[in-house]
Chains A and B, each alone.
Chain A
Amino acid sequence: MDHKDRNVVVPGDQLSDDPKKAGEGTYVKDGRVRSLLYGMASSYKDKVRVIPLAGKYVPSPGDTVIGTVQDIVFSNWIININSPYEGLLHISELPRKIEMNEMSKYLRIGSSVMARVKDVDSTMKVELTINDRRLGILTRGRVAEISPTRVPRLIGKGGSMINMLKKELNCNLFVGQNGRIWVDGNDDDMDLALKTILIIEKEAHTTGLTDRIMEFLRSEKEARS
């Protein structure tokens, strides 16, 4: 039998007997559309797709990510972006020109950056850049890590959730597609921001989440004052 819209499905569950409807997270066998993933089946326009509930981040050009420098090799910083694939930040991708012997001084092992994925080639070589005024080196604040599969929910339809959070939490927020989120503010505000982000991660698949979060933030702020 076909699975109803937005139910939890496991790999192999049948979603439709119309191969034309096969969307992301599905495959077609013997004329039937089946799930490839442990996730939520969803009908959208004329396609049926499965949204994963778990899984690793695979970089895609245009993604913004938060990473940590693991090593410096020749003219590249090797950056851990919480993925099976590491990111390479080349010396030419900085907002200003530096010499090779200045690399460690500019950005050392252990430092964190907000970067954009410039390119991913067929060998899974991931090129990053921080040459953009919205990107750069993180020198303060905290970074939370959630499952990358929950990032779309954290952002919300048209940015509804993230914009609400930016407004209600007295913090700077930057969401990386790789599941890392940077927050900056005073200690108590950052504590609340991180607590809220973890709730959203845990309940990403439930109904009425945006309203509940707004209510939660309201009561937390009242409790404080």
Chain B
Amino acid sequence: MSDVVMAEIRKDYLYHLVLKGERADGRVFDEYRDIDVETGPIRKADGSARVRLGKTQVMVGVKIQPGEPFSDTPNKGVIITNAELVPLASPNFEPGPPNEFGIELARVVDRGVRESGAIDLEALCITPGEKVWIVFIDVHILDDCGNLMDASSLGAIAALMTAKVPAAQYNLGEDYPLPVKDVPVATTAVEFGGATIFDPDTDEESVADTKLTVITTADGSVCGMQKSGPGFISQDHIYRIVDIACERAREIREKFLEV
């Protein structure tokens, strides 16, 4: 179940297109595939979202339960983010605990949520030092057709924005919407053939050896970044990706997150 070696003839074709300023599916370099965000498909979860990005599909579920705070932050709620790259989503995913890709995906999604301050952790305190709300963000990949990072990140914030704190079932008052104070959105690009290609599909991800994810907040600040892959990236390209990330993120916020 390892990756099949890509035909050189296919690689050559993708490079050939890039030199002409084109991509295999007709998009321009900084264009995203069609996006669809459905919130609340899992009614039993406290928040949920199903994101389609091109043919990539991810489901994100949010569960909020009372629990103990960490000893070094007794007055703060807890965010726990996990990603499951289940074998159903790709011939390259194997059953078992998350490997380094799954762990990296979860940690970068988490970074966006945490560092943007999207969730006010102090507001999640129930009894200082004893009881706080634990917010579980569980990313479940359904179909890997490229750019899981942006799809997962979008799913996470969409699920959080429509989540409710289930206070009633724990006799802690009435249910109320989870207070979300920012809207982090991730933008990912890969590098190959000297070009920077946004929202890569599976083939583009295979051919590239460098990927950069930039997470921006509603006011256009950068709150998270991750370069992945064993290749180089130049400073110019990094700055350009940051600029385009702010623009794309803003568009996505307006269109899909009603912000």
Contact = CB atoms under 8 A, between A and B. Distances in A.
Question: Per the CB under 8 Å rule, do A and B touch in the complex?
Answer: yes
Interface of A: 68-71, 80, 109-112, 138-143
Chain A interface main SS type: strand
B168 interface: no
Contacts of A69: 5
Contacts of A111: 7-8
B5 to A, nearest CB: 5
A110 B4 contact: no
Contact of B5 (A109, A138, A140, A141): A109
B255 interface: no
A70 B13 contact: no
Interface string B29-59: 0000000000000000000000000000000
B11 interface: yes
B5 A112 contact: no
Interface in B48-106: none
B10 interface: yes
A68 B11 CA distance: 12
B3 to A, nearest CB: 10
B4 A112 contact: no
A158 to B, nearest CB: 30
A110 B13 contact: no
Contacts of A142: 9-10, 13
Contact of A70 (B4, B8, B9, B10): B4
Q: Enumerate the 6 nearest inter-chain pairs by beta-carbon distance, A residue then B residue, closest first.
A: A110-B8, A68-B7, A112-B7, A70-B5, A112-B9, A142-B13
Nearest to B16: A187
Interface string B1-32: 00011111111010000000000000000000
A80 B4 contact: yes
Contact of A141 (B4, B6, B9, B11): B9
A112 B12 CA distance: 12
A68 B8 CA distance: 8
Contacts of B13: 142
Interface string B200-224: 0000000000000000000000000
B4 A143 contact: no
User: In the complex, which of the residues B6, B9, B13 has the most CB atoms of chain A within 10 Å of its own CB atom?
Assistant: B9
Nearest to B5: A70
A140 B7 CA distance: 11
Nearest to B6: A110
30 contacts: A68-B4, A68-B5, A68-B6, A68-B7, A69-B5, A70-B4, A70-B5, A71-B5, A80-B4, A80-B5, A109-B5, A110-B5, A110-B6, A110-B7, A110-B8, A110-B11, A111-B7, A111-B8, A112-B7, A112-B8, A112-B9, A138-B9, A139-B9, A140-B9, A141-B9, A142-B10, A142-B13, A143-B7, A143-B9, A143-B10
Nearest to A71: B5
Interface string B180-193: 00000000000000
Contacts of A70: 4-5
Contacts of B8: 110-112
A62 B172 CA distance: 73
Contacts of A68: 4-7
Contacts of A110: 5-8, 11
Contacts of B10: 142-143
Contacts of A138: 9
Q: Kindly name the residue among A109, A111, A142 whose own CB sees the greatest number of chain B CB atoms within 10 A.
A: A142
Given A80-B5, A142-B13, 20 more contacts: A68-B4, A68-B5, A68-B6, A68-B7, A69-B5, A70-B4, A70-B5, A80-B4, A109-B5, A110-B5, A110-B6, A110-B8, A112-B7, A112-B9, A139-B9, A140-B9, A141-B9, A142-B9, A142-B10, A143-B7
